[in-house]
Amino acid sequence: MSKPQVRPYGSWTSPITAAQIASGAVGLSEVRLDGDTVYWLEMRPSEGGRSVVVRRRPDGAVEDCIPQGFNARTRVHEYGGGSYVTAGEALYFSNFSDQRVYRVRGGGTPEPLTPAEKLRYADFVGDVRRKRLICVREDHTDEGEPKNTIVGLDVETDGPGRVLAAGRDFYAAPRLSPDGRFLAWMEWSHPHMPWDAAELRMAPIGTDGSLEHPTIHVAGGDRESVVQPLWSPDGILHFASDRDNWWNLYRFVDGRVEALTDLEAEFATPPWVFGMQNYAFASPTRIVCSFTRRGTWTLATLDTETRRLVPIDLPYSDISSVQSDGTQTVFLAGSPCEPLSVIRLDLGTGRFEVLRRSTMLAIDPVYLSTPEAIEFPTAGGRTAHGLFYTPKNPDFVAPEGERPPAGRDDPRRPTSMTTTALRLNIQYYTSRGIAVLDVNYGGSTGYGRAYRERLNSQWV
């Protein structure tokens, strides 16, 4: 290797080009596990932003599950998410152009399941024993505020769905117990957002498929956000709550709430879209979960009896969309040197493999800067957080005593959180000798409720 040239910061030449950044990567989301088949959603800029349900079969073959002309994307709550589900032998998805739910069986042509009306559907769960899907429906038929409900969609008789829960402004995350006897869900109303005050409720399902009343209030409400409800294989309802400032994991047993973790860490993210999941069950008493501290995510196992949390050694610092079946765990992950990817982990051996990368663009890691989590003083004597990227390029060094110029990158909306997955727009500058501070400003996620609320009523 040749001796590095001495050049001022900001004047270095780099192998990372603007053309590479503009070439774009596919968007990966909504990882799902159905037996030994792994599914994910792939947003393709090369196809006009079309979202495609993709699956990796047990034999390793990767294939699209929906044909050209279909786009698996819902507009419920506008941001969407939770746009598909597998149930029985079929795949169901919301199609972007008409917002109808379609069914695909045996690789055939998608068939419409819902009518061509001003209705939108999201966040599906299969209720196989009753031959229906349970999901959130958003009704735009009348003028004014759309009406949110939870409905059951009969998969044998096309129709708009039977209303199961109504009366609140917003619903999300309908989750069916393993034995099919109970349904849990999130609900909230104006003026709150779900990360401000979301309630978790549950109800028994009657013999006719309706929900029995009154429903059971599990947790959440004013000054408490309860998100990501999930049933254990033995029928215990779990969830994340920020009742003690941080989104920790809890369970509902014998009519009372029990804490499973008590860390200054977040085991969930704000539900900007449907279907976000940061934990899954490997067994009735073992959870595989991702949590974040100081801007970095870790995957771990949690024993729900001993409360022991054991981090898993992985080369990733951004982890989400966790699914598990006890033997394998699949999730989305990235690092400063690796783009966001679909990863499969063998829980027994600890070995992992990449199933799909968001980009196949290869950059030599010697040119990639790894961020350092930092804190710095801000207004009112408070502390703010960020990720600091120093200049890095093995081909150059700066003159002795020179300090690099620095730029700043901010999240673009309240309650955002910057990612530590490979970001070529940042590496473009650091490889040219420019430092970058990626700010998780007051109002960002990942540092507790109080930090998240700093920007309330102050966003301009």
- Residue 435 pLDDT exceeds 70: yes
- Residue 460 pLDDT exceeds 70: no
Tabulate helix, strand, coil % of the chain (nearest 5): 5, 45, 45
Q: Give the sign of the dihedral formed by CA 128, CA 130, CA 132, CA 134.
A: negative
Q: Which of 353, 359, 319, 321 is nearest to 339 (CA)?
A: 359
Q: Which of 176-185, 294-303, 413-422, 447-456 has the lowest mean pLDDT?
A: 413-422
* The dihedral formed by the CA atoms of 166, 227, 289 and 421, expressed in degrees to the nearest 10: 110
Q: Specify the pLDDT at position 411.
A: 57
Q: Are 275 and 81 in contact (CB under 8 A)?
A: yes
- Residue 229: which H helix or E strand, with range? strand 226-231
Q: Are 35 and 86 in contact (CB under 8 A)?
A: no
pLDDT in tens, 32-53: 999 999 999 999 999 999 999 9
Average pLDDT, the chain: 95
Q: Which of 335, 253, 324, 238 is nearest to 283 (CA)?
A: 324
Give phi and psi for 19, each to the nearest 5: -65, -40
Q: What is the pTM of this model?
A: 0.95
Q: Which residues pair with 184 in a beta bridge?
A: 175, 202
In the chain, how long is the greatest CA-to-CA distance?
Answer: 78
- Residue 412 pLDDT exceeds 60: no
Q: Are 125 and 85 in contact (CB under 8 A)?
A: yes
pLDDT in tens, 348-404: 999 999 999 999 888 999 999 999 999 999 888 899 999 999 999 999 999 999 999
Q: Specify the pLDDT at position 27.
A: 96
Buried-exposed string 80-105: b where 16+ CB fall within 10 A, e elsewhere? bbbbbbbbeebbbbbbbeebbbbbbe
Q: Specify the pLDDT at position 54.
A: 98
Amino acid at 358: S
* Domains of the chain listed by start with CATH number: 5-18+366-455 (3.40.50.1820)
pLDDT band at 80 (very low <50, low <70, confident <90, very high): very high
pLDDT in tens, 250-265: 999 999 999 999 999 9
